[in-house]
Amino acid sequence: MTDNHRVLVSASILNADFSRLDRVVHKMERSGADRLHLDVMDGHFVDNITFGPDVVAAFRRLTELPLDVHLMISQPARYMERFLEAEPETVTFHVEAEAAAERTTSAIEAIHAAGAEAGLAVSPDTPVDAVDPWLSELDLIMIMSVYPGWGGQGFIPETAPKIAQARAKLAAAGRGGLVHVDGGVSSKTAQIVGSHGIDVCVVGSALFKRGRDAADEVERVKELALLGFESNTAGAR
Ligand code: DX5
Ligand code: ZN
């Protein structure tokens, strides 16, 4: 059953040249990336600080690529409306970010009310089961394969089996949700995440390495992830 499986690339611009975001966006469009992944960090939930809703809105004006907003912020429910005003296709926040479960529920409801898709991200030390209370509402689960905060970190292989777990949960929920993997994904690690059935590879620094062709890297990530998927399915037959 490999025929229907697709692997998409969502390009994370975290390690791009922020002085020329228009150029970055157009380069990503030409590279064949399917989506843009925007990393929002608040210096509180994670140590790093990046940008807020106004910059997400600027990306919206620059491209028609679907925007995946990845909120690495405390109290995501509090800021949700402002991010939704920028009209992203998906908004993902961390299952660890709200102390009260009702706040997570209301943030997901706000995302859906705005016509966007909702995701929960799980950090490397968090079990995928943490998303269970919201499973029937989720359009995506994002498996963090690095500790959130910085681009260019090494892929943590122990997180890879969580991709298959998230995939099984979403399949059981029957909503057609997709699994994203974020952190250290490149042509070097694509086969591993593919073998666990990944749907969307978030690829950051690998697309912005000097001397490396972004289009070539996007193509290789997709090919190798599919190869991983197919060899795993073959093994299971
Ligand atoms: C990490 C971010 C990732 C990261 C991906 O906190 O959420 O999106 O920028 O970049 P690479 O591919 O360099 O790990
Ligand atoms: Zn991210």
pLDDT tens digit sequence for 46-74 = 999 999 999 999 999 999 999 999 999 99
> What is the distance, to the nearest Å, from the Cα of residue 190 to the centroid of all Cα atoms in its chain?
14
Note the maximum CA span of the chain.
Answer: 50
Residue nearest atom 9 in ligand 1 by C-alpha distance: 151
pLDDT-based confidence at 4, cuts 50/70/90? confident
pLDDT tens digit sequence for 76-134 = 999 999 999 999 999 999 999 999 999 999 999 999 999 999 999 999 999 999 999 99
Round to whole Å and give the CA distance between 196 and 153. 21
pLDDT tens digit sequence for 186-207 = 999 999 999 999 999 999 999 9
Looking at residue 162, its pLDDT comes to 98
Catalytic residues: 39, 182
Atom of ligand 1 nearest to the CA of 183: 14
pTM of the model: 0.97
Looking at residue 233, its pLDDT comes to 79
Round to whole Å and give the CA distance between 79 and 100. 15
- Residue that the structure tokens 């995501």 belong to: 76
The CA 121 to ligand 1 mean position distance, Å, reads 13
Helices (H), the chain: 21-31, 53-62, 76-84, 101-113, 161-173, 190-195, 214-236
Average pLDDT of span 213-219: 98
Antiparallel, parallel or unpaired: β 178-182 and 200-203: parallel
Atom of ligand 1 nearest to the CA of 147: 6
